[in-house]
């Protein structure tokens, strides 16, 4: 399994936040520590069967939180792993 990052574009820079890959693979959910959450975090992905080089942004907004505990927010991972854009992009 390759590494997947959430991203945030800010002042001309892109900040990356590593997703807990072990949790993602075993639960098909993104587990994000609450202290990492902020507005405009997104997961870059390509639509299925798309030959287009461009990517879409899936924003992790408060309404997409499916559950939480004292330390983490949990988001459903609605993509196939090969749809998510690699870190080098």
Q: What is the pTM of this model?
A: 0.84
Task: Name the strands in the sheet holding 56-59, side by side, starting at the edge strand that comes first in the sequence.
Answer: 13-18, 5-10, 42-45, 56-59
Q: According to the model, what pLDDT value does residue 89 have? A: 46
Partner residues linked to 18 by β-bridges: 5
Q: According to the model, what pLDDT value does residue 88 have? A: 54
Selection from 70, 67, 46 nearest residue 56 by Cα = 46
Task: Please report, for the chain, the start and end positions of each structural domain, with discontinuous segments joined by +.
Answer: 5-83
If DSSP codes are grouped into helix, strand and coil, which group holds residue 87? coil
Tens of pLDDT along 30-54? Answer: 999 999 999 999 999 888 766 666 7
If DSSP codes are grouped into helix, strand and coil, which group holds residue 82? helix
């Amino acid at each position: 399994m390759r590494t997947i990052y959430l991203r945030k574009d800010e002042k001309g820079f892109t900040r990356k936040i590593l997703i807990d890959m072990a949790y993602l693979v075993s639960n098909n959910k993104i587990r994000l520590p609450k202290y990492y959450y902020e507005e405009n975090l997104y997961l870059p992905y390509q639509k299925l069967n798309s030959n287009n080089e461009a990517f879409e942004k899936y924003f992790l907004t408060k309404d997409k939180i499916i559950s939480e505990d004292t330390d983490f927010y949990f988001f459903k991972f609605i993509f196939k792993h090969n749809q998510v854009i690699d870190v080098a992009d």
